[in-house]
Amino acid sequence: MPLIRPFAGLRPLPERAEDVVAPPYDVLNSEEARQRASGRPWSFLHISKAEIDLPAGTDPYDQAVYHKAAENLKKMLAEGVLRRDGASVYYVYRLAMGDHVQTGLVAVASVAAYDVNRIRKHEFTRPAKEDDRVRQIEALNAQTGPVLLAYRSDQSVDGLIDSVTTNPPEYNLVADDGVRHTIWLLDDPDVVAQLTAGFDAMDAIYIADGHHRSAAASRVAAGRNDAPDAMSRFFLSVIFPHNQMKILDYNRVVKDLNGLSADQLLEEVGKVFDVAPEDTAVSPAKAGEFGMYLGGRWYRLGIQPERIPADPVARLDVNLLADNLLEPLLGISNPRTDPRIDFVGGIRGLGELEKRVDSGEMAAAFSMFPTSMDDLMAVADANEVMPPKSTWFEPKLADGLVSHMLD
């Protein structure tokens, strides 16, 4: 069975794409989704966040939400807003945010390959979130949120994908967050066959974002008695070369100093890190470097080199901070569940860290150097998992531009 294959995508008519395009389901809460979809009857949020069409306060995991999503999908099909392509094809997807551009392939990826770890993971999943995606897929008989995958850049594959971008695109639009989404149809049989073979020659590809969606796809496939080549045994993906992907910092804020004064914390931190006061906000320049905002002042922290282990997980900056500062000094032993710590995506800027500390809501903030794709792949290759909130990928894929029907 191939690692990836082409498919007949479900997508909006070109003139409807701007009406349909929506942010990923998991970056908005219900109220934010309700506001974003206001006055937009064809927004894909009516499918991905269908609780917005039910009474305020409806539990997003209520069975009525999945029924409403299926009802809204049927309505969009009946009204001709969405249609399914007549043949199996690939699509080329370009994201542009400011000066950053990345170009990848929309395909369906093999559940069988995922199950044997040829599509590699780097995060644990949470049962409730997996269950939610399973119910959504079953209700729609479709996967509507793509999994973000990465492959080790390959000159031949990269070139085949880029060659399609000289053609007129199917969609070229700027979403309300300022990100440009451009999609081309790739239906040349020779190029399709070359890309399928090119990916099949790879040892592995990697989940960047979408662990719950891919795990749910595996569970759905396992629950059906479909043929090995059935569309239900493949999941919707967008696959980018690793060297084009952008990971932002994922910063930390903590509510108290665990009984220490600011001066006492600084003294203890100085036993493990090289500490230098700074006049401006600290954006770490390299791995092993951190910013700390404490008492209205920024400090640059450099981990002492002998404290960096060889293990690919233990040497990650998120673990170096946790193992040398957050746990021993601030008493935060499980960042996944401890209510005294919160996480701030780098897209919000360092000013957000200052704001939350200066307001008194938080006692200290830590700015991080972004995790690299090489680190992510090394962890996945070692069959390990990264700590929670290790990566923040930008720009985000849109929902609604291409979906995958399971029949």
- Reported as a single tens digit per residue, the pLDDT across 286-343 is 999 999 999 999 999 999 999 999 999 999 999 999 999 999 999 999 887 899 999 9
Predicted pLDDT of residue 162: 98
Which residues, listed in sequence order, are joined to residue 300 by a DSSP beta bridge?
276, 291
pTM summary value: 0.92
Contact assessment for residue 314 and residue 379, using Cβ atoms and an 8 Å cutoff: no
Q: Residues 6 or more apart from 211 whose CB is under 8 A from it?
A: 121, 123, 124, 125
Give, in order, the Cα–Cα distances in Å from 16 to each of 77, 140, 306.
12, 21, 57
Same domain, 236 and 289: no
The rounded distance, in Å, linking the Cα atoms of 177 and 23 is 9
Same domain, 218 and 340: no
Task: Give how many domains the chain has, as a whole number.
Answer: 2
Cis peptide preceding 395, ω within 30 of 0:
yes
Q: Residues 6 or more apart from 259 whose CB is under 8 A from it?
A: none
Same domain, 177 and 325: no
Long-range contacts of 101-104, Cβ-Cβ distance < 8 Å, separation of 24 or more: 101/244, 102/240, 102/241, 102/244, 102/245, 102/246, 102/395, 103/161, 103/162, 103/165, 103/240, 103/244, 104/161, 104/238, 104/239, 104/240, 104/241, 104/244
Same domain, 281 and 158: no
Q: What tokens does 235 get? A: 């999941």
pLDDT grade, residue 248 (50/70/90)? very high
Same domain, 166 and 119: yes
The rounded distance, in Å, linking the Cα atoms of 274 and 296 is 19
Mean pLDDT of the chain: 96
Judge whether 388 lies within some domain.
no
Average pLDDT over residues 110-116: 97
Whether residue 118 has pLDDT greater than 90: yes
CATH number of the CATH domain containing 346: 3.30.1760
Q: Sign (positive/negative) of CA torsion 51, 53, 57, 58?
A: negative
246-266 per-residue burial string, b: 16 or more CB within 10 A, e: under 16: bbbbbbbbbbebbebeeeebb
Same domain, 212 and 290: no
Same domain, 267 and 212: no
Whether residue 177 has pLDDT greater than 90: no
pLDDT grade, residue 245 (50/70/90)? very high
Judge whether 121 lies within some domain.
yes
Same domain, 143 and 277: no
Q: Cβ–Cβ contacts within 10 Å for residue 225, how many?
A: 7
Chain centre to alpha carbon of residue 81: 27
Average pLDDT over residues 7-22: 97
Range of the structural domain that residue 23 is part of: 4-243+394-405
Predicted pLDDT of residue 21: 97
The rounded distance, in Å, linking the Cα atoms of 59 and 137 is 18
Judge whether 379 lies within some domain.
no
> How is the beta sheet containing 341-345 ordered, strand by strand?
273-278, 297-303, 289-294, 364-367, 250-254, 341-345
Whether residue 108 has pLDDT greater than 90: yes
Judge whether 288 lies within some domain.
yes
Contact assessment for residue 185 and residue 170, using Cβ atoms and an 8 Å cutoff: yes
Predicted pLDDT of residue 336: 79
